[in-house]
Amino acid sequence: MRRLRAALQRSMLFPALSSFCRLTVLERELLRSLTGPAIFVYNHVSALDAVVMAEALPPRYRHRSVVVAAADSIFKRKWEARLAQVTVDAFPIPRGGGARAHLDYLKQLLNTNWSVIIFPEGRLTATGAIGPFRKGAAILAVDTGVPIVPAYVDGMYEVMPRFRRIPRPGRVTVTFGEPVAPETGEDYDALIARVENSVRALAGPKGLAVDPPSGSKSEGPNYWY
């Protein structure tokens, strides 16, 4: 499956993205210090974010990462679910009760040298600003010792915000930050606060704005959404 995914990305997915999106990746060299898996977190702006991040990552992470996605979004239709799984290895997480059970599987992946890509806000931004972070990424990091790599995606809100079906041509920049390792005795809330601050710092002045909560409520522990 990984060979098929790599072939589809190289021959179809990335060329399609480049037809309307001029992608620039900054500070990717910071990933050279990593010797094992990582938890990549970044702001959630567009339905195409997973594709953008897949192209931004170096091959050693691109081909051995899963993307945590809401089960009720791209997984509503069988063909969409299959396409997401084949092209970016999307992993569905329910918004309400039961989400906690999926943590164990993700921890197993991290412990076998797979990386995880997470949208820590748990939803697409409504305004282009960064929303409050949920602590799912911090739970994985603290419980496994795997570092979190913050990143900021700039420009995708102009290219394809959540209310658009057809993207507009534009420039998109992905900026990676220094890996954030959990400290001894650090709790989940403290770690995710550090990570959120890192992403906001990468955003510069745009990081000062906060996307307002959607007002929706989910049943069960809200680790992801």
Q: Does 56 map to a domain? A: yes
Q: Does 224 map to a domain? A: no
* For residue 73, pLDDT beyond 90: no
Q: Does 173 map to a domain? A: yes
Q: How far apart are CA 207 and CA 210, in angstroms?
A: 8
Domain that holds residue 119: 2-208
Model pLDDT for residues 102-147, shown as the tens digit of each residue: 888 899 999 999 999 999 998 889 999 999 999 999 999 999 999 9
Q: Does 222 map to a domain? A: no
Q: Does 213 map to a domain? A: no
* For residue 218, pLDDT beyond 50: no
Q: Does 120 map to a domain? A: yes
- Weakest mean pLDDT among 25-34, 146-155, 163-172: 163-172
Q: Does 220 map to a domain? A: no
- Could you please report the per-residue DSSP string of the chain? -HHHHHHHIIIIIHHHHHTTEEEEEESGGGGGG--S--EEEE----TTHHHHHHHHS-HHHHTTEEEEEETTTTTSSHHHHHHHHHHH-EEEE-SSTTHHHHHHHHHHHHHTT-EEEE-TTSS--SSSSBPPPPSHHHHHHHHH-PPEEEEEEESHHHH--TT-SS---EEEEEEE---BPPPTT--HHHHHHHHHHHHHHHHGGGGG-BPPP-----SS--S--
Return the structure tokens found at 104. 């164990």
- pTM given for the model: 0.88
**The CATH number of the domain where 114 resides is what?**
3.40.1130.10
Q: How many domains does the chain have?
A: 1
Q: Does 14 map to a domain? A: yes
